[in-house]
Every structure is written in C-alpha cells, then in structure tokens.
Amino acid sequence: MPLREQVFVREQGVPAELERDVNDPYCRHAVAIGASGQVIGTGRLLPDGHIGRMAVAAQWRNLGVGGQILEALVAEAARLGFGEVVLNAQIDAVSFYLRRDFVPEGEVFVEAGIRHRTMRRAL
C-alpha cells in the first residue's frame, strides 16, 4: 500500500479515498521486491479478471519491472481459467499494454481525474 499511495496519491493526485477500496482482500497481488527488500512494484488481479493498481517506484520504471508484474498477473489469470483479462490503462501507459498484446476498446474516459482507455487481452 505505501507504494500505491506514493504513485497514485502523491505523484498523480488521486484522492486517497479512491485509491483504497474494498477489493484488495479478494485480489491476487503481484509484488516486485528489490535487492534490499523494498517493494518496487505491484499490481492486482480482481476476482472478475480485471487487472489494476499497477504501480512501479519511480527509480525502477522503464527497467522491466512493470512488464514482469503484468505477465505474472496474466499468468495467474490463465491459471485460474480466465479466457481474457481486462484493464483500464492510463492514456500515458497505453503503449506499454499494446506491446504486451492488449487491445484497446471503447472511448477514452476520465477516472480519478486521469484519462483512461479500456484494454483486453485474450488468454
């Protein structure tokens, strides 16, 4: 949670009450840990096959951490028998998901003051 608060609340200005929700206890979480034991990345898979709350510490971005977290969540969804995964990508991250076989759908929408696009990936 501290990393998510850093990325979403402090860096992106998402209200804390929107970042925290009742879903966390029901999700599968992927966490990347640095050599000194600190959390450097995280993401979650909701029970309905949605991926969300992808966050990587600033100094670890563009080094493959986010891709590894995403692929771990996709693999878990496949293991659980989902036929696809869905996520709401921030517009600035759409190209990250496109490179990982996600396909955009629908119109751009605003959530927590940030523009997003729904994306899917068949498993």
Return per-residue pLDDT of the chain as tens, 123 residues.
888 899 888 988 888 888 888 899 999 999 999 999 999 999 999 999 999 999 999 999 999 999 999 999 999 999 999 999 999 999 999 999 999 999 999 999 998 889 999 999 999
**CA separation for the pair 120, 110 (Å, rounded):** 18
- Element holding 65 (H helix, E strand): helix 65-79
Of 12, 100, 113, whose CA–CA distance to 64 is shortest? 100
Our CA dihedral for 18, 72, 28, 61, rounded to 10 degrees, sits at -30
